[in-house]
Amino acid sequence: MKKPQEFKYLSYPQAILVVGTYDREGRPNIAPVALGGMCSHRPPLLFVSLRAATLTHRNIVERQAFTVNVPSSEYIVETDYAGQVSGRDHDKFADCGLTPLRSERVDAPLILEFPTAAECRLAQTVDVGSHTMFIGEIVHLQGDAAISTADLSYLRKDLTDLPDMVQAGGFVYAVTAEGRCYVGLGEVLGRAYRLGRELRDKS
Ligand SMILES: Cc1cc2nc3c(=O)[nH]c(=O)nc-3n(C[C@H](O)[C@H](O)[C@H](O)COP(=O)(O)O)c2cc1C
């Protein structure tokens, strides 16, 4: 039986995206967000929702750009750390031993060590409540070439260049019996748009 929940936050496994920005002085900064993800294919739009108190929020407003970097579990400690201190007081790239890379197309830094990175130009800003939703158009996307993919020929061409996140050691953020946790990606359970085919064809 389901029971009503007092705190209204839909708890489900979410990606953790690490947002890269430059501050006024040109110093690179990073901050993880759970509130984020793709919101359109054409044009390719990604959103991240940030509290106004964060440095990242101010940086995006000022630079009109940000990057979205997907961490692997190798950098889980650094990712968690980056979500607990502000770039106002800490050089998080240095503290984490991460390398800021200049983006090709936008005024925001990429994280060299992370397997996937999207360069986003700020397209829309929506004040949604406790957070501001920044919607960015992905103008350039890079995946780690070292993480090979198996047979991806069944995918649309535009997806074949993305790294295999299970192989890359991807993880998600989820509420478990132990509280708010990072949970590693486990086995592949089946192909999307394929598992439901039989049921679809019968209906
Ligand atoms: C797992 C995790 C998820 C987070 N998700 C968000 C989020 O979605 N939005 C947000 O504003 N802050 C989020 N935070 C908190 C920010 O990362 C944190 O406030 C950070 O210190 C901001 O850094 P900055 O001031 O350098 O921008 C999250 C932190 C963690 C650890």
Distance 130 CA to ligand 1 centre (A): 13
Q: Which tokens belong to 180?
A: 């708010």
d(CA 85, CA 83): 6
From the CB of 85, is ligand 1 less than 6 Å away? yes
**Both structure tokens of 51:** 């509290």
Alpha-carbon gap, residue 200 to 194, rounded angstroms = 10
- What's the CA gap between 76 and 38, in Å, rounded? 22
Around 167, how many Cα atoms within 13 Å sit in the side-chain half-sphere?
13
CA 156 – ligand 1 centroid, Å: 33
From the CA of 29, give the closest atom in ligand 1: 26
- Looking from the CA of residue 21, the nearest atom of ligand 1 is 27
32 lines ligand 1 (CB under 6 A): yes
**Cα of 150 from ligand 1 centre, angstroms:** 34
Q: Which residue, among 110, 107, 124, has the nearest Cα to 23 in the 3D structure?
A: 107
Most ligand 1 atoms within 8 A of CB, residue of 33, 55, 80, 172 to mutate: 33
Give the position, in ligand 1's atom list, of the atom nearest the Cα of 50: 11
Q: pLDDT 10s per residue in the chain (203 long)? A: 888 888 888 878 999 999 999 999 999 999 999 999 999 989 999 999 999 999 999 999 999 999 999 999 999 999 999 999 999 999 999 999 999 999 999 999 999 999 989 999 999 999 999 999 999 999 998 877 666 554 445 545 555 567 788 888 999 999 999 999 999 999 999 988 999 999 999 99
Predicted local confidence at residue 182, as pLDDT: 97
Q: Is 83 in the pocket of ligand 1 (CB under 6 A)?
A: yes
